[in-house]
Amino acid sequence: MSAPIVAIKVYLKVWGALLLLLALTVAAAYVPMGEFHLPVALAISVTKAFLIVFVFMEIKWGGRLLHLAAIAALLWLAIFFVLTFNDYLTRDLPSALVR
C-alpha cells in the first residue's frame, strides 16, 4: 500500500502557500509586536513545517509508526527545552547566567 500519486496542482498550491507564508514571516518581523515576535515567527514556521510534512513528506500514508517517530522527536526536544529552562528561569543571578 503506497501513497497515491498526487496531482501536480496540489504540490503547486502548497508551494505557493509556503512562499506566501515566507512573505508573511518577513512582514511580521517589521510590525511592532513587542514580546509576541518570537511566538508569531515560530507559529508561522510551524505552519510551513506542517505543510511540508503532511503534503511533501506524505506522513499520513506511512501509518502510525511514522507519526510516532515524528511525535517522539518533538516530544524529546520539548523535554530538553523545558527541563533546561527550568534551571535557567529559576536561577537567582541577575542575568541568569555567569555574570
Partner 1 sequence: MSYLTKQTLRSWFFATDHKRIGILYLITILFFFTIASVAAAMMRIELITPQGDFVTNETYNKLFTLHGVLMVWFFLIPSIPAVLGNFVLPLMLGARDVAFPRLNLLSWYIFIAGGTLALWSLLHGGVDTGWTFYTPYSSTYANGHVVSMAMGIFVAGLSSILTGLNFIVTTHKMRAPGLTWFRLPLFVWSLYATALIMVLATPVLAITLGLVCLERFWGVGIFDPRLGGDPVLFQHLFWFYSHPAVYIMILPGMGVVSELITCFARKRVFGYSWIACSSMAIALLGFVVWGHHMFVTSQSVFAGIVFSLLSYMVSVPSAIKVFNWTATLHKGSITFDTPMLYALGFIGLFTIGGLTGLFLAALGFDVHVTDTYFVVAHFHYIMVGGMVMAFMGGLHFWWPKITGRTFPELTGKIAAWTTFLGFNLTFFPQFILGYLGMPRRYHAYPPEFQFFHVLSTAGASILAVGYFMPFCYLLWSLKWGSVATSNPWKATGLEWQTPSPPPEHNFAEVPTVLNGPYDYDAAKNTFCPQTEEGYV
Partner 2 sequence: MSDRRAESALSDQFESVEQQHGADLFGMWIFLATEVMFFGGLLVAYAVYRHAYPHGFDLASHRLSVVFGTVDTAVLLCSSLTMVLAVRALRLGQRLPSIALLLATATLGCGFLVLHGTEYYHEWQEHLVPGRYFQFEGPHLTEAQLFFWLYFALTGLHSFHVIIGVVLMLVLAASVFERRLDAERYIALEVSGLYWHFVDIVWVFLFPLLYLIGLR
Task: Tell me: does residue 9 bind partner 2 (CB under 8 A).
Answer: no
What cell does 91 get? 536561577
Q: Which does 24 bind (CB under 5 to 8 A by kind): partner 2, partner 1, none?
A: none
Amino acid at 95: S
Task: Give the C-alpha separation, 39 to 46, whole Å.
Answer: 10
Neighbouring C-alpha atoms within 13 Å toward the C-beta of 9: 0
In the list partner 2, partner 1, none, the entry touching 48 (Cβ below 5 to 8 angstroms by class) is partner 2
C-alpha cell at 68: 510516532
Note whether 92 binds partner 2 by CB under 8 A.
Answer: no
Q: Where do contacts with partner 1 occur on this chain (CB under 8 A)?
A: 65, 72-73, 76, 79-80, 83-84, 86-88, 90-93, 97-99
